[in-house]
Amino acid sequence: MFKRIHHIAIICSNYETSKDFYVNKLGFEVLAEVYRAERRSWKLDLAVNGIYQIELFSFPDSPNRPSRPEAQGLRHLAFEVDDVAAVAKKLNERGVVTEPIRIDEFTGKQFTFFTDPDGLPLEIYES
């Protein structure tokens, strides 16, 4: 019935800060950027490795996330990478703080976490 995840929508508190983070620090490609005046909302469509996957929204007065990452709902967003250490190093060089690299006890694969400007937990996971 379902073929794949089409996209992930993220609501940010500061559009320019989050746009800079996802585009300039993480390196995602901007596919489209639209300001919707009737909603006072920006919508930024981003591609991950050339595939449309993330919608970044700004809404006035959106509520804060209740807690991290054990709140009910989406726990974190994970991105597959070839080399966790190399990607973590590149993120660190761009001012993104990553946790120490860990090994998944079940798969033996490397992974680490970091956060976006609003504290959304993000993960890089070895392919």
Residues 116, 85 share a domain: yes
**Domain assignment of residue 88, yes or no:** yes
**Domain assignment of residue 70, yes or no:** no
Q: What percent of the chain has pLDDT over 90?
A: 73
Residues 82, 53 share a domain: no
Segment 91-111 shows an average pLDDT of 96
Residues 56, 1 share a domain: yes
Question: 91: domain CATH number?
Answer: 3.10.180.10
Residues 43, 16 share a domain: yes
**Domain assignment of residue 89, yes or no:** yes
Per-residue pLDDT, 67: 65
**Domain assignment of residue 39, yes or no:** yes
Closest CA to 126 of 83, 67, 75, 72: 83
**Domain assignment of residue 124, yes or no:** yes
In Å, what is the CA distance from 40 to each residue of 32, 55, 80? 17, 16, 33
Q: Output DSSP code: residue 92.
A: H
100 three-state secondary structure: coil
Tell me the pLDDT tens digit for each residue of 54-97.
Answer: 999 998 888 877 766 666 667 789 999 999 999 999 999 999 99
**Domain assignment of residue 68, yes or no:** no
Residues 84, 37 share a domain: no
**Domain assignment of residue 67, yes or no:** no
What is the residue-averaged pLDDT of the chain?
91
The parent domain of residue 35 ranges over 1-61
Residues 56, 2 share a domain: yes
Q: How many structural domains comprise the chain? A: 2
Residues 52, 4 share a domain: yes
